Amino acid sequence: MRAPRRSVVRRTVAVAAVLGTTLTLAACNQAAGGGAASSEEFPSKTVDIMVPAAAGGGWDSTARAMQKVIEDEDVVSEPVEVFNVEGGGGATGLSQLQKDEGDPHALMVTGLVMIGALEQASSPVSFEDTTPIATLTSEAEAFVVPSDSQYESIEDVVAAYEKDPASVTFGGGSAGGSDQLVVAELMKAAGADPSQMKYVGYSGGGEAIAGILSGDVAVGVSGVSEFESQIEAGDMRLLAISTAETQEVAGEEATTLQDAGYDIDFSNWRALVAAPGLSDDAKEQVTEVVDELHGTQGWKDALEANGWADFYKTGDEAQEYIDSEVDRVAALYEDLGL
């Protein structure tokens, strides 16, 4: 998932409002009849999962996969709705979530990319203004080159960069997103200066792949699943993936950055958060539902189908992880001079 930009996914839109309003109205009626919301069982009404980005991206697939599994496996008795709120790399959605303070039915999908976007947009709202429920998935970043590239390994790329940073053009999702951050992290680990990086940002996976195949971009960086079919078809060569743990990509075990000698464990994680100000009891109940979702076969299948790794942390563990990521991204932004 990358911060939505206008050029490609322009007309994909959030239909939040009309749907959302109707649901909220319905919910209000229900709540009025059924007493105080906090003492109720969760869920007592429709569960809304907000996707703070356009339809069709990574957060969107995560939310829709959750919805599918919850409904297929009857995890909860109430319906689950997914809606999109586009804007500001997630900042618009996050500020909208503030309106539902204390309501466990208002959930939002988020992830690493949002940290950078909030930083970039100098957003007045931050991750502190949510109730983290669980981290769900992570996806390794892949470094790829066109199959006729001179670079045979990630070390070749680093060596070329050390010699002349301007000789290597990196390309991936929007500038300042996770794709650029992982390159910064690599160069930092290799002892080179990340601020010299030449990076071309694209607004969607499609455009980025076209940029790599056309030769505008020498080294492509994005989520593994974005490139998998190109790697399989032999159009691209995988140099390395960014996680510490290896995985199979297009039928072969991938080299990790750590294998190549760079101390990096970087993954594009996605998480589920609730509106701010949830009571401990409500948080517990939402977590139970997510626990059950996580245990289903349907969720395992969805992970597999999308090429996501299981990255499940809840409670304090999730909170700590997110906090540490916020600090890490802030430091990388500093290094990049963004």
Partner 1 sequence: MSQFGDLMGGFATVLSPEMLLFAVIGVTLGTLVGVLPGIGPAVTIALLLPVTYGFESPIPAFIMFAGIYYGAMYGGSTTSILLNTPGESASVATAIEGHEMAKRGHARAALATAAIGSFVAALISTGLLALVAEPVGRLAVSFRATDYFALMILALVTVTALVGSSLVRGLISLLLGVTIGFIGLDGISGQPRLTFDSPVLFNGIDEVLLIIGLFAIGETLYVLVKGRTRPGQVTPLEPVRGGFMWLSRDQWRRSWGPWIRGAGFGFPFGVLPSGGAELPTFLSYSWEKNRSRGKQEFGKGAIEGVAGPEAANNASFSGVLVPLLTLGLPTSATAAVMLAAFKIFNLQPGPQLFEENSDLVWALIASLFVGNVMLLALNLPLIRLWVKVLEIPRPVLYAGILVFATLGIYSVSGTVTDILIAYGIGVLGFLMRQFDFPIAPTILGAILGPELENQFRRALNVGNGDLTVFVTRPLSLAILLLAAAALLLPYAPRIVARLRGKDPEEAKKLAFADED
What backbone torsions phi and psi does residue 188 show, to the nearest 5 degrees?
-60, -45
Does residue 27 bind partner 1 (CB under 8 A)? no
Residues constituting the chain = 338
Q: If phi over 0 gives left and psi between -120 and 50 gives alpha, with beta otherwise, what is residue 122?
A: left
Minimum distance from CB of 334 to partner 1 (Å)?
15
Write each residue from 36 to 65 as x if it is in contact with partner 1 (CB under 8 A), else as -, in one continuous string.
------------------xxxx--xx--xx
Q: Burial of 138 by CB count in 10 Å (0-12 exposed, 13-18 middle, 19+ buried)? A: buried
Q: Give the binding range for partner 1 (CB under 8 A) out of 226-234, 251-259, 273-281, 323-331.
A: 226-234
Residue from the set 110, 174, 243, 287 that interacts with partner 1 by CB under 8 A: 174
Q: Copy the structure tokens of residue 177.
A: 């997103």
Quick check: 169 and 219 in contact, CB under 8 A? Answer: yes
Question: ∠ CA(99), CA(102), CA(103), 5° rounding?
Answer: 80
Minimum distance from CB of 92 to partner 1 (Å)?
7
Does residue 90 bind partner 1 (CB under 8 A)? no
Report how far residue 20's alpha carbon sits from residue 46's, in angstroms, rounded to the nearest whole number: 10
Minimum distance from CB of 127 to partner 1 (Å)?
17
Minimum distance from CB of 233 to partner 1 (Å)?
4
Quick check: 239 and 143 in contact, CB under 8 A? Answer: yes
Residues 227-246 close enough to bind partner 1 by CB under 8 A: 228-230, 232-233, 235
Quick check: 180 and 130 in contact, CB under 8 A? Answer: no
Cβ within 8 Å of residue 193, ≥6 positions away: 165, 187
Minimum distance from CB of 261 to partner 1 (Å)?
29
Residues 194-213 close enough to bind partner 1 by CB under 8 A: 198, 200-201, 203-207, 209-211, 213
| Residue among 216 and 323 whose Cβ is closer to partner 1 | 216
Instruction: Please state whether beta strands 219-223 and 131-146 pair in parallel, antiparallel, or not at all (unpaired).
Output: antiparallel
DSSP string for 217-285: -SEEEEEHHHHHHHHHTTSEEEEEESSSS--EETTEEPPBTTTTT-----EEEEEEEE-SS--HHHHHH
Minimum distance from CB of 221 to partner 1 (Å)?
15
Write each residue from 269 to 298 as x if it is in contact with partner 1 (CB under 8 A), else as -, in one continuous string.
------------------------------
Minimum distance from CB of 244 to partner 1 (Å)?
26
Quick check: 287 and 315 in contact, CB under 8 A? Answer: yes
Question: ∠ CA(237), CA(240), CA(243), 5° rounding?
Answer: 145
Report how far residue 31's alpha carbon sits from residue 305's, in angstroms, rounded to the nearest whole number: 38
- Residue 14 has a CB neighbour count (10 Å cut-off) of 21
Q: Give the binding range for partner 1 (CB under 8 A) out of 87-95, 135-143, 281-289, 317-325.
A: 87-95
Minimum distance from CB of 108 to partner 1 (Å)?
14
Instruction: Please state whether beta strands 267-274 and 106-111 pair in parallel, antiparallel, or not at all (unpaired).
Output: antiparallel
Residue from the set 23, 27, 66, 87 that interacts with partner 1 by CB under 8 A: 87
| Residue among 8 and 244 whose Cβ is closer to partner 1 | 8
Residues 96-155 close enough to bind partner 1 by CB under 8 A: 96, 120-121, 123-124
What's the one-letter identity of residue 320? E
Minimum distance from CB of 39 to partner 1 (Å)?
30
Residue from the set 33, 36, 74, 214 that interacts with partner 1 by CB under 8 A: 214
Does residue 67 bind partner 1 (CB under 8 A)? yes
